[in-house]
Chain A
Amino acid sequence: MLHIKCPHCGMRSQIEFSYGGDATVKRPELGKEISDQDWDNFVYNRKSLRGKHWELWQHLSGCRQWIKVQRDTATHEIFKTLKANEEIS
């Protein structure tokens, strides 16, 4: 069982959250000319590495806010959580 510290509500159990995937993927800017490769990278291609991983979670059974979580994909240790509008440093 993971325990995730929601930046709005504090430490909560994993079952209150739903997962949202890689938080570093950025949608290409609207109205800008982009290549097929850029779209592929946005829609399909993922690094998904072993180790530290920034990812989105939604506190679905709590404040319903999307948050960013830095977690180790091998040990599940959680290093840091951020509000959705906070930049990953």
Chain B
Amino acid sequence: MQKYSVFSLVKNALSNHENWDLAWKDPTPKKEYDVVIIGGGGHGLATAYYLAKEHNITNVAIIEKGWIGGGNVGRNTTIIRSNYMHDDNALFSEFGMDLWRRMSQDLNYNVMFSPRGIINLAHSDAQMNTYARRGNSMRLNGIDAVLLNREEVREIIPMADFSENVRFPIFGGLMQPSAGTARHDAVAWGYARQADDMGVDIIQNCEVIGFDVSAGKINGVRTSRGDIKAKKIGLCVAGSTNILAEKLNMTLPIETHLLQACVSEPVKPVLDKVVTFGAGHFYISQSDKGEMVMGGDLDGYNSYAQRGNLPTLQHVLTEGIAMMPFLSKLKMLRTWGGIMDMSMDGSPIIDKTHIEGLYLNCGWCYGGFKATPASGWTFAHTIAQDRVHELNAGYSLNRFNTGHLLDEKGLGTKTWIS
């Protein structure tokens, strides 16, 4: 594999950039692999990468119905953070932050990780107390957290509405300075390129039709490009998990919902933080191109549509304008939607299943992108060692049965209400 560097750039410039290697191959599926990963999104690609890199398992195929990076890894708002209160979420996410910090070097691919900081705004005294508690929990787990008062928030984001006569005045906020954003497509492509180089077959346009299960063991997968045998299969298809679960006769604590995002026309740099509204569900950052990247609530009813409805978008942007009135002057450039696995406690599942050799990675709700490296790392460990790592022990499938829920936000089972 060619190493990407300033020297290779200059060298290839001399031949009009016509001699670059392909970033990954387009192989024909083999009859059998040691491990098959279903889903060529961020998590699937990262899992294959860490299987090869950390566990020396390179006879691996990733099978993807569409094209790699075409699902949620290309549809999110690119936010990376570890501002969680519960230990299981905090330690998992902070482990991921370390992987994010060195990802560009590890992958020899610029993922444009930008640790610009995230601020969650508070709009009442009660909310400030909650944030103080969460901030303290974060610091006990070694995660940076700063509680900001109203004036400190005003210093950082003066464009927010600090006038006296507003429905949701800004009381302050909780900031995680090390949080940030990254170029989401580059994450998928970076993992794909390295995994391919280590021998992983990335098989696109290959749909799973069914599974070959006998005597409680997985033997392989039936696909639109033929049967593939494997003793270990990992599901990394958040958004479509329920479709594959049905083929396995499994019913999961997951509902499938649609989340929209949008960007405005590009404007000059105005916002150098990720900011979330505390009185509703709205978050915003500014991309390197200058677009304001925004998102918020689910559409609110089960959906596989991958496109949204206007009432939700209008509701979300109303919150945005309440928080930052200048947004009302901007034109919308683009809107889109992605389908989410909404788990019943708001936390993901990375676990073995009752079928031997079948592993499950799903239920990412709103937070799949930031988890990409940690999810891939722990899922690869779970598959390779056939046991969960302590970092994903809390993300068990049977926690719904035993009552050990990870309800970070204290939400119930009505996933669409959050």
| A and B: bona fide binding partners | yes
With A14-B311, A73-B256: A49-B242 Cβ-Cβ less than 8 Å: yes
A40 interface hit (Cβ, 8 Å): yes
In the bound complex, how far is the Cα of B414 from the Cα of A45, in angstroms?
A: 12
A-B contact count (CB 8 A): 70
* Contact assessment for A74 and B310 in the assembled complex, using a CB-CB cutoff below 8 Å: no
Q: Which residues of A contact B344 (CB under 8 A)?
A: 43-44
Asked if B178 CB lies within 8 Å of chain A CBs, one says no
**Residues in B neighbouring A71, C-beta threshold 8 A:** 301
Interface string of B26-59 (1 = CB under 8 A from A): 0000000000000000000000000000000000
Given A40-B401, A44-B253, A47-B246, the answer on whether A76 and B310 have CB atoms closer than 8 Å is: no
Q: Is the CB of B302 within 8 A of A53?
A: yes
B414: chain A residues within 8 A (beta carbon) = 21
Q: Decide if A33 is an interface residue (CB 8 Å cutoff).
A: no
Q: Give per-residue flags for A10-34: 1 if the beta carbon is below 8 A from chain B beta carbons, else 0.
A: 0000110001011000000000000
Residues of B227-284 at the interface with A, using a CB-CB cut-off of 8 Å, are 242-243, 246, 251-256
A15 to B313 alpha-carbon distance, docked (Å): 12
Q: How far is the CA of A49 from the CA of B303 in the complex (A)?
A: 9
Contact in complex: B251, A45 (CB < 8 Å): yes
CB of B138, distance to nearest CB on chain A (Å): 28
Query: A36 near B254 (CB under 8 angstroms)?
Result: no
Check if A60 is an interface residue, CB within 8 A of chain B: no
Is A49 a contact of B251 with CB atoms below 8 Å?
A: no
Q: Contact string, B376-418, partner A, CB cutoff 8 A, digits 1/0?
A: 0000000000000000000000001100000000000110100
Partner among A1, A19, A40, A53 whose Cβ is within 8 Å of the Cβ of B416: A19
Q: Of all chain A residues, which has the CB nearest B257? A: A48
Q: Are A50 and B304 in contact (CB under 8 A)?
A: yes
CB of A49 within 8 A of CB of B305, answer no
Query: Do A21 and B416 touch (CB < 8 A)?
Result: yes
Q: How many residues of A contact B (CB 8 A)?
A: 26
Q: How far is the CA of A6 from the CA of B397 in the complex (A)?
A: 38
Complex Cα–Cα for A1 and B252 (A): 29
Q: Which residues of A contact B255 (CB under 8 A)?
A: 21-22, 46, 48
In the complex, what distance in Å separates the CA atom of A47 from the CA atom of B254? 8
Task: Kindly list chain A residues whose C-beta atoms are within 8 Å of the C-beta of B400.
Answer: 40, 43-45
Partner of A73, one of B251, B254, B300, B303: B303
Does A75 belong to the interface (CB within 8 Å)? yes
Q: Which residues of A contact B401 (CB under 8 A)?
A: 36-37, 40
Please tell me if B309 contacts chain A, counting CB pairs below 8 Å: yes
Chain A 65-82 per-residue mask, 1 if CB under 8 angstroms from chain B, else 0: 000000101111000000
Give complex CA distance A73, B311 in Å.
Answer: 17
Query: Cα distance A45–B255 when bound, in Å?
Result: 8
Partner among A43, A47, A50 whose Cβ is within 8 Å of the Cβ of B251? A47
Closest residue on chain A to residue B309 by CB atoms: A1
Determine how close the nearest CB of chain A comes to the CB of B255; give it in whole angstroms. 5
Contact A41 B243 (CB under 8 A): no
Q: With a CB–CB cut-off of 8 A, which chain B residues contact A2?
A: 309
11 extra interface residue pairs, beta carbon distance < 8 Å, beyond A21-B302, A49-B243, A55-B302: A1-B310, A21-B255, A21-B416, A46-B251, A46-B254, A48-B254, A48-B302, A49-B246, A50-B242, A73-B302, A74-B303
Instruction: Give 14 pairs: A residue, B residue, CB < 8 Å, sorted on A.
Output: A14-B309, A19-B300, A21-B416, A40-B400, A45-B253, A46-B252, A47-B242, A47-B246, A47-B251, A48-B302, A49-B246, A50-B243, A50-B256, A75-B305
